[in-house]
């Protein structure tokens, strides 16, 4: 799933998930597994408060979902800045990860950009999404009842002050197919955020100490104490999208009708299907018509 710049091939990121998925005792000891970038702030208490409403034996895949590769690559996925998968999802994707070392690698990212295989230059997050989708694991909806994000891929100040949705951004990779009413600017973020990201420049400039001060301020502002009753999130369902903007047909597992050649497609009926989005529990705080 892509080598890090300057890092030898044996340290490719997919090997991390392969190691985790094939270590049997981890299934006994842990319910949830995550991949978090080093320049991200993660609130473990807020994450714990959120996932308590989900069964880890079921296949869950949580993070910030982007849909710009869904229509052409059959690849809705969660951004690699930080995502969580359940024990059930890890167990289901294990055979696909175990098969990678014995599957011929592609010569380049462009040679097979939508397959669950090893290839140089591939980004980890869409590839993990492809591997999961191939075994029927689709990104969960993690928006709160006002369409606010819990997993934020950029800095808090960027989301809060700069990232405003307008109709001309409908095709932007970040905004593509996001549901009507999606929160932006001052309505960007859940009051119990789980992750903010993209603090690498600050990390390089101020070092761990400077970033630690900012992250400690985040802890004081957003981390919710366990003794406060948790707000029940909307009922679990697959990722939300804007039906008015989807121009391609897809099945109950969110597979497009014309997937890429040789991509593994999950088609088992009656197993965790994704129904049409249910918006009955949601109300937007953003500008009407977004």
pLDDT score, position 112: 87
* pTM of the complete model: 0.92
pLDDT score, position 285: 87
Does residue 73 contact residue 125 with C-beta atoms inside 8 Å?
no
pLDDT score, position 14: 78
Each residue's pLDDT tens digit, 8-44: 343 467 788 999 999 999 999 999 999 999 999 999 9
Select from 232, 36, 63, 225 the least CA-distant residue to 149: 63
Residues near 262 by Cβ (< 8 Å), separated by ≥ 6?
Answer: 112, 115
Expressed in angstroms, the distance from the first to the final Cα of the chain is 35
pLDDT score, position 96: 96
Q: What is the dihedral of CA 255, 256, 257, 259, to 10 degrees?
A: -90
- Walk along the chain (290 residues) in steps of 10 and give the mean pLDDT of each run: 37 80 96 95 96 97 98 97 97 96 82 87 89 97 97 97 89 94 95 96 77 90 81 94 96 96 90 88 71
pLDDT score, position 290: 42
pLDDT score, position 195: 98
């Amino acid at each position: 799933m892509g080598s890090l710049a300057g890092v030898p091939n044996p340290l490719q990121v997919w090997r991390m998930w392969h190691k985790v998925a094939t270590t049997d005792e981890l299934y006994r000891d842990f319910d949830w597994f995550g991949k978090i970038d080093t320049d991200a702030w993660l609130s473990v208490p807020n994450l714990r408060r959120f996932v308590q409403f989900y069964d880890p034996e079921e296949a869950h895949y949580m993070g910030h979902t982007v849909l710009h590769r869904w229509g052409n690559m059959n690849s809705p996925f969660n951004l690699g800045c930080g995502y969580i998968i359940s024990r059930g999802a890890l167990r289901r994707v294990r055979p696909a990860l175990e098969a990678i070392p014995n599957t011929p690698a592609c010569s380049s990212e462009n040679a097979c950009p939508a397959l669950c295989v090893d290839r140089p230059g591939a980004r980890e997050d869409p590839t993990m999404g492809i591997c999961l989708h191939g075994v029927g694991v689709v990104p969960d909806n993690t928006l709160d009842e006002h369409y606010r994000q819990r997993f934020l891929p950029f800095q808090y100040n960027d989301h809060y002050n700069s990232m405003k949705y307008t109709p001309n951004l409908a095709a932007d990779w970040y905004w593509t197919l996001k549901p009507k009413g999606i929160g932006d600017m001052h309505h960007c973020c859940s009051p119990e955020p789980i992750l903010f990201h993209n603090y690498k420049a600050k990390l390089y400039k101020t070092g761990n100490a400077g970033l630690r001060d900012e992250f400690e301020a985040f802890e004081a502002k957003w981390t919710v104490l366990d003794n406060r009753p948790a707000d029940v999130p909307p009922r679990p369902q697959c990722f939300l999208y804007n039906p008015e903007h989807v121009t391609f047909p897809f099945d109950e597992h969110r597979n497009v009708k014309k997937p890429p050649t040789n991509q593994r497609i999950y088609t088992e009926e009656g197993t965790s299907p994704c129904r049409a989005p249910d918006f009955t529990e949601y109300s937007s705080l953003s500008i009407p018509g977004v």
